[in-house]
Amino acid sequence: MGCSAASASAAEPLLLRDAAHTVQAWPAVTLLVDEQAAFSTDEALERRGEFQRPTKDATLGVRKDAVWLHIPVAVDAASSGRWILEINHPDLNRIDVVLMQRGEILQRSVLGTDVPRAERPLPGRTPAQAFHLQPGQDYEFLLRVQTRGAMILPITFNTPSGILSRSVNEQMLQGVLTGLALCLIFYSLAQWFSLREPLFIQYALLTTGSLLYSMHFFGIGQQYLWGHNPWLTSHAVGLASLVALIGSFLFMSQALEGHNPQSRFLRGMRLGAVLTAVLAVAYALDLISLKGLSVIVSVMGPLPAMLSIPGAWRRARKGDSIGTTLLIAWFVYGLGSAVIIGVINGGLPVNFWTLHSFQISATVDMLLFMRVLGLRTEALHTKVLHANQQLDAMHSLAHTDPLTGLPNRRGLQIELSSALSRARPESRLAVYVMDLDGFKPVNDQHGHDVGDELLVAVAKRLQGHLRQTDVIARLGGDEFVVVTGQLHNTVQAHELGLKLLEAFSSPFSLGHIQVQVGLTIGYAIAPDDSQDGAGLLKLADAAMYSGKQSGKFCVRRNTGDLALSSA
């Protein structure tokens, strides 16, 4: 029973001094176990000699029976007499508090979650009751505690300023941790709406369940959200645990095998999530008791991590950061869970760190899991970037001449259409169609490889005599097209043609071979000769053929008459 053989008379009274602000009650506590939960206050008082000193402070584990606690106190003569008894564990169903002096009952009150919020003595986060005690007097407190969960009883006597300070500190801590969790949930939901990646909504589900559990365990939920609703008050902790478990099954499986829809591990984990959802419905309909649910959760709770560890370990060994992060998260979670289980079962003392161990580990887990989301987002971005690169490559192949890297006929159409949209009478556009003179003999004499080298050299020479904004395209064979804009008059267009012609007066050095080829150029101007891309190309092409027929190595403009004559 966790008690020693010492009787209640052996317990020294607690001295309540205002200067202490907070006085721990357990050094003076003796207890009596009521196995049938049937003793009345008078019957418990008749058994004073059976009260014994506990061997563990502030935690009595999970138990069905009721426990009576006896606490003698002595009020300092200089005290104001205003003291507040508080039990710093919100999840206690019923605490009967009796104040006595010299065997006479002075005050009775009932605390705990079974008491409607409006009827509680103090509307705070934890069970608490204020007392007006006479300075210099001795009193006895008799508490009967019965709860369906863990009997964690960190009992203290506090001055008003002392309990205010402790409450503010705890509220600030809970506010920071709750705010952090809400930010992570909202971020993951926003990412899910944006990317439609299931991992983000599963993270939100997991984090929501963990947050609701912490809010219940530390009384924030009862204080601000569902304390007015008895059904929610009694079901919140169980439903929160199941929601977190559903999220765990889905998140772990998606993080490790979401890329493989045929994975048996993925299907098994999803089946676990479905089974947990069915249990949640059954619990909500009161088909499963809280005790039964506690057994189920204690068995199923570790399953997502245990089933995922082999896959995470394999990925971690390959240097995958997702696997490593999950392993660290499970270690932290396991450590926090072990501590809180030790507190619940009475194996570890109750203090700030042990009471908050699960919440702290859950917060670290949420941040580590957020790193998993970040890694997944990075992978998605890389995948999208790779897909875009592939699309760009395919687009380039479709619009680029593979030999010279210049736009092909399809690419020229796009570039010419764009350039024509900027053509004006004061800013003309010229389209040059040019064909090499003497290319076929080079090809026949030296072979196609030398011919290909010559075509690449021709492209580079044209680029060297044009602006970066000008467009050079190869339509096939030895036929090239140049598009140049921002020409103030037609003279500039003709001068550029002559400049290109002159550039081909010197031979090309191809390794140990020197070859000489010339150009025949035909051109047309927009908007003077035509405002249509296809029309300009036809005019320029006709002018080029006319030049070929007239002796080659010349520049000729077509204003329309040559196109008609060659049609």
CA distance 417 to 292: 74
Residue 39's CB: how many other CB atoms inside 10 A? 18
CA distance 521 to 481: 9
- Does the pLDDT of residue 9 top 50, yes or no? no
Q: Are the CB atoms for 441 and 418 separated by under 8 Å?
A: no
Q: Are the CB atoms for 427 and 485 separated by under 8 Å?
A: yes
- For 431, residues 6+ apart whose C-beta sits below 8 A from its C-beta are 416, 481, 482, 483, 523, 524, 525, 526, 533, 536, 537, 539, 540
Q: Residue 472 in 3-state DSSP?
A: strand
- Does the pLDDT of residue 1 top 60, yes or no? no
Rounded to two decimals, what is the model's pTM? 0.69
Q: Are the CB atoms for 151 and 62 separated by under 8 Å?
A: yes
Pairing of strands 128-132, 82-87: antiparallel
Residue 434 phi, psi (nearest 5): -135, 145
Range 295-299 average pLDDT: 88
Instruction: Locate 117 and state its tokens.
Output: 């919020």
- For 312, residues 6+ apart whose C-beta sits below 8 A from its C-beta are 256, 322, 323, 324, 326, 327, 330
- For 36, residues 6+ apart whose C-beta sits below 8 A from its C-beta are 65
Q: Are the CB atoms for 135 and 78 separated by under 8 Å?
A: yes
Range 529-543 average pLDDT: 90
Q: Are the CB atoms for 15 and 74 separated by under 8 Å?
A: yes
Kindly state the helix (H) or strand (E) to which residue 240 belongs, with its residue range: helix 230-257
Confidence band for 565, pLDDT divided at 50, 70 and 90? very low
Q: Are the CB atoms for 355 and 154 separated by under 8 Å?
A: yes
Residue 390 burial by CB count (10 A; 0-12/13-18/19+): exposed, middle or buried?
exposed
Query: Of 80-94, 126-140, 373-387, which gets the smallest average pLDDT?
Result: 373-387
Q: Are the CB atoms for 81 and 157 separated by under 8 Å?
A: no
Q: Show the 3-state SS of 287-328.
A: CCCHHHHHHHHHHHCCHHHHHHHHHHHHHHHCCCHHHHHHHH
Confidence band for 7, pLDDT divided at 50, 70 and 90? very low
CA distance 210 to 178: 10
- For 67, residues 6+ apart whose C-beta sits below 8 A from its C-beta are 31, 32, 33, 34, 60, 144, 145, 146, 151
- Does the pLDDT of residue 23 top 90, yes or no? yes
CA distance 162 to 326: 41
* Closest alpha carbon to 142 in 45, 57, 50: 45
Edge-to-edge strands of the sheet including 518-526? 471-476, 479-487, 428-437, 518-526, 555-557
CA distance 366 to 17: 42
Q: Residue 209 in 3-state DSSP?
A: helix
Q: What is the pLDDT of residue 4?
A: 38
**pLDDT tens digit sequence for 421-438:** 888 888 899 999 999 998
- Does the pLDDT of residue 567 top 70, yes or no? no
- For 505, residues 6+ apart whose C-beta sits below 8 A from its C-beta are 518
CA distance 200 to 297: 24
Query: Of 63-72, 135-144, 304-313, 529-538, which gets the smallest average pLDDT?
Result: 529-538
Q: Apex CA 198: angle with CA 194 and CA 204, to 5°?
A: 85
Residues found in the chain: 567
Residue 509 phi, psi (nearest 5): -95, 115
Query: Of 53-62, 143-152, 392-401, 474-483, which gets the smallest average pLDDT?
Result: 392-401
Q: Apex CA 531: angle with CA 529 and CA 535, to 5°?
A: 75
Position 177: which residue type? L
End-to-end CA distance of the chain: 112
- Does the pLDDT of residue 6 top 80, yes or no? no
**pLDDT tens digit sequence for 356-404:** 998 999 999 999 999 998 888 887 777 778 877 777 667 667 788 888 8
**Between 308 and 377, where is the model more confident?**
308
Instruction: Locate 274 and state its tokens.
Output: 């479905």
Question: Which DSSP state fits 237?
Answer: H
Query: Of 9-13, 88-92, 242-246, 554-558, which gets the smallest average pLDDT?
Result: 9-13
Task: Walk me through the domains of the chain, giving residue ranges and CATH numbers.
Answer: 8-158 (2.60.40.2380), 165-387 (1.20.1070.10), 409-566 (3.30.70.270)
CA distance 244 to 217: 14
Range 187-199 average pLDDT: 91
| % of the chain surpassing 70 pLDDT | 97
CA distance 276 to 377: 28
- For 516, residues 6+ apart whose C-beta sits below 8 A from its C-beta are 438, 507, 508
